[in-house]
Amino acid sequence: MRVVIQRVTKSSVTVDGTVVGQCGRGLNLLLGVRVGDTVAEAEWLANKIANLRIFEDDEGKMNRSLLDIEGSALVISQFTLYGDARKGRRPAFTDAESPDKATRLVDTFVDFLRATGVPVETGIFGAMMQVEIHNDGPVTILLEREPETR
């Protein structure tokens, strides 16, 4: 699994003109699922993200986690994170998991993140979404967890 973590002051996702998910201070998470990913990757990423110290303390150092600041998260599925554009002019998505399996793993990731105590909202899997992101910093981190069998 691969996730683009963006520290935000606020973020929202809109489908067909309706806001379907939003968060305040916290993280906008663009989540991609790769062929072969499992529940283990979802759990590891959720725990890592909830505890990742990327929010500033009173001295301006990134020393606080999403849990520490009592922030929230907006999770948006993004199969294009596994687009391979090294050859040709159109990305290939052969590494992206099939929609049925990816949907289950995205939902599992969200459940694990909520279990840490983080309030989580989501986009709609497979929908055409417009995402409004108010980056804070900006702080953007790419985090990936591959299955142990690779």
| Alpha carbons 50 and 58: distance in angstroms, whole number | 20
- Active-site choice (79, 108, 112, 122): 79
* Residue 79 annotated as catalytic: yes
Q: DSSP 3-state helix, strand, coil percentages of the chain (rounded to 5)?
A: 25, 40, 35
pLDDT of residue 113: 98
List, for residues 102-113, the tens digit of each pLDDT value: 999 999 999 999
Q: Is 130 a catalytic residue?
A: no
- pLDDT(150) > 80: no
Domains plus CATH for the chain?
A: 2-140 (3.50.80.10)
Is it the case that residue 91 has pLDDT exceeding 90? yes
Tell me the one-letter amino acid at 63: N
Q: What average pLDDT does this structure show over 128-141?
A: 97
The yes-or-no answer on residue 6 being catalytic is no
What pTM value is reported for the model? 0.95
The answer to whether 24 touches 31, Cβ cutoff 8 Å, is: no
Q: Which of 78, 108, 109, 112 is catalytic?
A: 78
